[in-house]
Amino acid sequence: MSTETRTASPTHESDGTGLEPTLNLLADMDLAHATDDDIVRALELMVTHVDFPCLGAKSVFRRGSVAHAVLDDMDDPDLPADLLGRLTAFARDIDGQEGFHSFIATFRAPLPADEATFEASLFRLLQRLHDADDETWAAGVGSDPNDPHFAFSAGGTAYFIVGLHPAASRVARRAPLPTLVFNPHEQFEALRQEGRFDGMRTTIRRRDEDLQGAVNPMVADHGDGSEALQYSGRVHGPGWEPPLEVREPGDES
Provide the 10 A C-beta neighbour count for residue 155.
Answer: 19
Structure confidence by residue, pLDDT tens digits, 53-105: 998 899 999 999 999 999 999 999 999 999 999 999 999 999 989 888 999 99
Q: Does the predicted model carry a pTM greater than 0.85?
A: yes
Amino acid at 145: P
Cα first-last separation, the chain: 32
pLDDT of residue 1: 44
- Is 242 in contact with 120 (CB distance < 8 Å)? no
Is 73 inside any structural domain? yes
Amino acid at 77: P
Is 237 inside any structural domain? no
Is residue 83 packed enough to be buried (19+ CB in 10 Å), middle (13-18) or exposed (0-12)?
buried
pLDDT of residue 10: 46
Count structural domains, the chain: 1
Is 144 inside any structural domain? yes
Provide the 10 A C-beta neighbour count for residue 132.
Answer: 15
3-state secondary structure the chain: CCEEEECCCCCCCCCCCCHHHHHHHHHCCCHHHCCHHHHHHHHHHHHCCCCCCCHHHHHHHHHCCEEEEEEEECCCCCHHHHHHHHHHHHHHHHCCCCCCCEEEEEEEECCCCCHHHHHHHHHHHHHHHHHHCCCCCCCCCECCCCCCCECEEECCEEEEEEEECCCCCCHHHCCCCCEEEEEEHHHHHHHHHCCCHHHHHHHHHHHHHHHHCCCCCCCCCECCECHHHHCCCCCCCCCCCCCCCCCCCCCCC
Is 241 inside any structural domain? no
Low-confidence ranges of the chain (pLDDT < 50): 1, 9-14, 253
Which residues constitute the domain of residue 86?
Answer: 3-230
Q: Angle CA(48)–CA(168)–CA(236) in degrees, nearest 5?
A: 125
Is 246 inside any structural domain? no
Is 250 inside any structural domain? no
Is 239 inside any structural domain? no
Is 126 inside any structural domain? yes
pLDDT of residue 251: 63
